[in-house]
């Protein structure tokens, strides 16, 4: 099966660095390498849409010094990777709130989205200042006037509420690295029938080969969507 939507909660940077006697921010820098590796591997694994959780709305609660390094890394990623992403047919889309981001970062995001708009091999969605609950609330606010709202309408409204292109696509496989087994306010609507894959591997050690292993695991699963299993 191709055209899959895979979402990843990239967790464990801080613990990985701390375990090596280094500052947490060193783990975030290494984590950027994993992003490169995973984005490079995704299209050949049948992934058409890749959504990466880079910064949650709750992550503002971290020390200012860590927040500022994360924002700098994000900006640097957009600046240094964009040409290669475009050349590889990757279309970048940033989802989440933008009104609390620095204006320079917002400009970098807009530029990256513009310059990669023609990409057709992979849709790379980066979730920054993202909260699934907040954007569902926003979608419901917009919908409040309509009494006959249906599921498909809400899918579109959620898509718009997060700066998406108008659709909140269902997730096929959700991966979380770093050993925790929770969603941390990520894609709550879109994961209704997602397969879940939790790995103890810390994000800085998760590369294309680990993604391939997760995809093998996913392909062996029987997705029933409420129906009974098809006899084999
Ligand atoms: C994930 O790693 C990156 C972000 C949340 C931005 P963490 O920073 O959460 O690392 P741990 O979970 O503390 O090890
Ligand atoms: C989730 O990780 C957010 C990102 C990976 C960007 P956290 O490390 O913030 O989640 P919790 O606090 O352990 O649930
Ligand atoms: Mg964490």
Residue 98: pLDDT over 90: yes
pTM over 0.85: yes
Residue 40: pLDDT over 80: yes
Residue 220: pLDDT over 90: yes
Handedness of CA 16, 19, 21, 24 (dihedral sign): positive
What is the 7 CA–ligand 1 centroid distance (Å)? 16
Q: Where are the alpha helices (DSSP H) in the chain?
A: 13-19, 24-41, 64-87, 103-115, 132-143, 151-161, 208-219
Query: pLDDT-based confidence at 232, cuts 50/70/90?
Result: low
Please indicate whether residue 204, judged by its CB atom, sits closer than 6 Å to ligand 1. Answer: no
> Is 140 a member of any domain?
no
- In 3D space, the residue among 138, 80, 78, 132 whose CA is nearest the CA of residue 110 turns out to be 78
Full domain range(s) for residue 113: 4-130+171-219
Nearest atom, ligand 2, residue 180 CA: 13
* pLDDT value of residue 50: 98
DSSP strand pairing (47-56 vs 4-9)? parallel
Distance of CA 204 to the CA centre of its chain: 16
Mutate to test the pocket of ligand 1, among 10, 14, 59 (most ligand atoms within 8 A of CB): 14
> Is 191 a member of any domain?
yes
Residue 168: pLDDT over 80: yes
Query: pLDDT-based confidence at 132, cuts 50/70/90?
Result: very high
Average pLDDT score over the chain? 95
Tokens of 194: 């997602």
Residue 143: pLDDT over 90: no
> Is 12 a member of any domain?
yes
* Torsion angle (degrees, nearest 10) of CA 214, 219, 224, 230: -160
- In 3D space, the residue among 111, 112, 134 whose CA is nearest the CA of residue 188 turns out to be 134
Whether 177 and 201 have beta carbons less than 8 Å apart is answered as: yes
Number of domains in the chain: 1
- Find the helix packing angle between 132-143 and 151-161, rounded to 10°: 120
> Is 126 a member of any domain?
yes
DSSP 189: T
> Is 146 a member of any domain?
no
Please indicate whether residue 170, judged by its CB atom, sits closer than 6 Å to ligand 2. Answer: no
* pLDDT value of residue 2: 80
> Is 155 a member of any domain?
no
Locus of tokens 């503002």 = 60
Q: How far is 139 from 7, CA to CA, in rounded Å? A: 21
> Is 110 a member of any domain?
yes
DSSP 123: E
- Over range 11-27, report the average pLDDT: 98
What is the 35 CA–ligand 3 centroid distance (Å)? 16
Residue 9: pLDDT over 90: yes
Q: Residue 66 belongs to a domain with what CATH number?
A: 3.40.1180.10
Tokens of 178: 């770093």
Whether 218 and 197 have beta carbons less than 8 Å apart is answered as: yes
Apex 83 CA angle, 81 and 90, nearest 5: 80
């Amino acid at each position: 099966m191709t055209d899959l939507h895979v979402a990843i909660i990239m967790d464990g940077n801080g613990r990985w660095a701390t375990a090596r006697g280094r500052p947490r921010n060193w783990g975030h820098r290494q984590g950027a390498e994993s992003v490169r590796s995973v984005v490079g591997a995704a299209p050949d694994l049948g992934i058409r849409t890749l959504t990466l959780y880079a910064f949650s709305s709750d992550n503002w609660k971290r020390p200012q010094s860590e927040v500022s390094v994360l924002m700098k890394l994000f900006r640097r990623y957009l600046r240094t990777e964009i040409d290669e992403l475009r050349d590889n047919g990757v279309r970048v889309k940033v989802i989440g709130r933008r009104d609390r981001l620095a204006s320079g970062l917002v400009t970098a995001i807009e530029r990256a989205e513009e310059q990669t708009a023609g990409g057709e091999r992979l849709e790379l969605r980066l979730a920054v200042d993202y909260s699934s609950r907040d954007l569902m609330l926003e979608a419901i606010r917009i919908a409040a006037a309509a009494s006959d709202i249906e599921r498909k309408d809400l899918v579109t409204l959620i898509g718009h509420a997060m700066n998406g292109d108008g659709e909140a696509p269902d997730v096929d496989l959700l991966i979380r690295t770093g050993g925790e087994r929770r969603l941390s306010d990520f894609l709550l609507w879109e994961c209704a029938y997602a397969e879940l894959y939790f790995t103890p591997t810390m994000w800085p050690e998760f590369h294309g080969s680990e993604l391939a292993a997760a995809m093998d695991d996913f392909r062996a699963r029987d997705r029933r969507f409420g129906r009974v299993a098809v006899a084999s």
